[in-house]
Amino acid sequence: MSQPEISAAAAGYARCGVCESLVRWRDMAPDSEGSCARCGSVVRLRRPNSLARAWALVISAYVMYVPANLFAMTAISQLGTTESDTIFGGVKELFAAGWYPVAVLIFIASITVPLGKLLCLTGLLISVQRRSSWHPRQRTVLYRVVEQVGRWSMLDVFVLTLLIALVQLGNLMTVEVGRAGTFFASVVVLTILAAQSFDPRLIWDVMEEEK
Partner 1 sequence: MTDLDIDPKDWVACESCDLMVRLPELRPREEAECARCGQVLERSQPDSLRRTLALSIASLLLFVVAQTTVFMSFELDGLVQDAWILTGIQSLFLDGKWPLASLIFFTTVAAPLLWILSLLYIVVPLRAGRVPPGIASAMRFCTLAKNWSMLEVFLLGVLVTYIKLAGVAKLGIGPGALSFAALMLVSTLAGLSFDTRLVWSLVWNRSEARP
Question: What is the footprint of partner 1 within residues 171-200 (CB under 8 A)?
Answer: 172-173, 176-177, 181-182, 185-186, 189, 196, 200
Minimum Å distance from CB 163 to partner 1?
A: 6
Q: Which of 59, 95, 108, 201 binds partner 1 (CB under 8 A)?
A: 201
C-alpha dist (Å) from residue 178 to 141, 155, 189: 36, 16, 18
Q: Which of 28, 51, 159, 206 binds partner 1 (CB under 8 A)?
A: 159
Minimum Å distance from CB 33 to partner 1?
A: 15
Question: Within a 10 A sphere around the Cβ of 104, how many other Cβ atoms?
Answer: 14
Question: Does residue 87 interact with partner 1 by CB under 8 A?
Answer: no
Footprint of partner 1 on 29-58 (CB under 8 A): 36, 38-41
CB closer to partner 1 out of 58 and 157: 157
Question: Does residue 105 interact with partner 1 by CB under 8 A?
Answer: yes
User: Distance between CA atoms of 21 and 35, rounded to whole angstroms?
Assistant: 11
Question: Does residue 88 interact with partner 1 by CB under 8 A?
Answer: no
CB closer to partner 1 out of 63 and 167: 167
Kindly report each contact of residues 35-44 with a partner whose C-beta sits within 8 Å and lies 24 or more positions away, as own/partner: 41/16, 41/17, 43/14, 43/15, 43/16, 43/17, 44/14, 44/17
User: Distance between CA atoms of 5 and 9, rounded to whole angstroms?
Assistant: 12
* Binding segment toward partner 1, per CB under 8 A, in 56-64, 115-123, 125-133, 169-177: 169-177
The number of C-alpha atoms within 13 Å of 37 and in the hemisphere containing its C-beta is 7
> Crossing angle of helices 136-149/180-197, nearest 10°?
140
* Binding segment toward partner 1, per CB under 8 A, in 49-57, 79-87, 126-134, 146-154: 146-154
Q: Which of 49, 82, 162, 209 binds partner 1 (CB under 8 A)?
A: 162
User: Distance between CA atoms of 162 and 174, rounded to whole angstroms?
Assistant: 12
Minimum Å distance from CB 119 to partner 1?
A: 21
Footprint of partner 1 on 53-72 (CB under 8 A): none
Q: Is 106 within 8 Å of 89 (Cβ atoms)? A: no
